[in-house]
Structure 1
Amino acid sequence: MLVLLPPSEGKAGGSRGRPLAWESLSLPGLTEARARVLDELVALCAGDPGKAREVLGLSEGQAPEVARNAALREAPTAPAGAVYTGVLYDALDLATLSPAAKRRAGKALLIFSGLWGALRIGDRIPAYRCSAGVRLPGLGALAGHWRAPLAEVLPEVAGEGPVLDLRSSAYAALWRPAGALAERTLTVRVLQERVVDGRPKRSVVSHFNKATKGRLVRDLLAAGPLPRRAGQVAGALRDLGYRVECDAAAPNRLDVVVTEV
């Protein structure tokens, strides 16, 4: 099973750790595409900080993010699973998983990134700021840049098992499974159910959707071997106590219904 995750806007920067080593990163087929983005990003941030803030969608108060990007080649690195922070990663809480669950996470989780394309949680990277929606002056839209390299590398990574796609729309645009792989790819929609005037009403959860997805992935990793077929995923989540509904009109979507967020 492969689980596709978005990154987080916030990232934990360390003061210790060796600099980036390209050869240590997983998915080496992405190395050339990664280097092109890094070169463009570093050049932009080092050469014109004002333009960099505009391109990256940052405020003047976020100028330190630009300076950090300019120094990415020399910056200390840490495992991607520790660099990414925020609601989903707080709920996932990789650091407190059992050794067996951590091994499963290392094999199953794939984090998408505007800078790196896709990463394993153990890949050592520096903290950075570059979302998937960015258009770098010399490279164009990052979604377009990543589409072909990811399409070449990821089908083999996915193998024959199910794919659980928990990415936001911006990161889903970097790579969309096709053909038979698309048929065994599942997405998750989190719905909150509340009783209003005596009647149950549902709404799509936005912010806390991330927390639910983080807990969901953590529980799957902690439970034992991951599902080997797409048809087993809903049942596995129900066994973990989740209320999961399937819609015949959207057979590749799982609705997870919650009453509290």
Structure 2
Amino acid sequence: MLLPPSETKAHGGDGPPLNLEALSFPELTDVRRTLVRAVSELAEDVPASLDVLGLSPRQGAEVARNAGLAGAGTLPALARYTGVVYDALDVPELSAADLERANRRLAISSALFGLVGGGDPIPGYRLSAGSRLPGLGSLRSLWRPVAGPVLAARTGLVVDLRSGAYAALAEAPGAVTVRVLSEDEFGARSVVSHANKHLKGRLARALVQIEEEPASVDEVVEAARLLGLVAERRGPGAVDLISRLAAPVGSS
């Protein structure tokens, strides 16, 4: 299962400093090393970093995190990333067995690391899919040639919950895609963004709580329904999650 990252990340970490060789997907190590070096060096120029990263002067602490990448303490990736998707996934409340499956089944798309496993130890950092580091061009041009083949070589079912910007960094051929729709009291449906991240996080939770890894779209739908989600198959390689809106107070 492929998750998006988050701009917000937990601070601190009591794990050992970053060791690129300890991360999953070793095929990505060379590009990771290039980007970590570039981000750290850019952080020596705070105004330039703020500009490249699209940050305001009040966010200088984010630049400081990048400056300290090499020596900072680490956290497992699923504990490092925060925000709506990860709140809905609710890693702290997973059982030990569920957490083991989460670390094994979940991968997070990262602008800095390409892809990381759920349990991979990483420091806090700031870099977005649309960033362009001086002298390196777009992150898409760096990641697609190396991360794309990694995903293309995966066997078994892949469920892609990434946003468009991160999906563009590495294609996942044949992956199951997930769309979130709202449904009003009259049954009319529309694509929405407000429930998108929350429901995708809940689907990720559903897919780590089942013992057998899903092998088909129908099994993804069934796992979602077991957790109380409204899910439907949409064609051979897609799933719709439905957010049903309550009728307005006083309506009849």
TM over 0.5: yes
- SS of equivalent to 2:237: strand
**Alpha-carbon deviation of 1:15?**
5.5
**Contact kept? 2:39, 2:67, Cα under 8 Å:** yes
1:18-97 matched pairs, under 5 angstroms: 18-46=16-44, 48-97=45-94
The corresponding residue for 1:11 is 9
**Contact kept? 2:75, 2:122, Cα under 8 Å:** yes
The corresponding residue for 1:137 is 134
Q: How many residues align?
A: 246
**Contact kept? 1:163, 1:230, Cα under 8 Å:** no
Say whether 1:165 aligns with 2:160: yes
TM-superposition CA deviations, 1:207-240 (whole Å, max 9, x none): 3211111111112211321212344322333344
In structure 2, relative to structure 1, the CA distance for the partners of 1:121 and 1:15 (3 Å cut) is closer
TM-superposition CA deviations, 1:19-41 (whole Å, max 9, x none): 11122111111110100111111
**Aligned AA (2:162):** R
The corresponding residue for 2:243 is 258
1:109-120 matched pairs, under 5 angstroms: 109-120=106-117
In structure 2, distance between residues paired with 1:15 and 1:162: 32
**Contact kept? 2:18, 2:74, Cα under 8 Å:** yes
In structure 2, distance between residues paired with 1:79 and 1:238: 29
Q: 1:236 aligns with which of 212, 223, 231?
A: 223
TM-score (ref. length: structure 2): 0.91
**Aligned AA (2:107):** L
- SS of equivalent to 1:200: coil
Q: State the 4+ residue runs in structure 1 displaced beyond 6 angstroms.
A: none
**Aligned AA (2:182):** Q
Structure 2: gaps spanning 5 or more residues? 247-252
**Contact kept? 1:114, 1:131, Cα under 8 Å:** yes
**Aligned AA (1:190):** V
Structure 1: gaps spanning 5 or more residues? none
TM-score (ref. length: structure 1): 0.88
In structure 2, relative to structure 1, the CA distance for the partners of 1:237 and 1:17 (3 Å cut) is closer
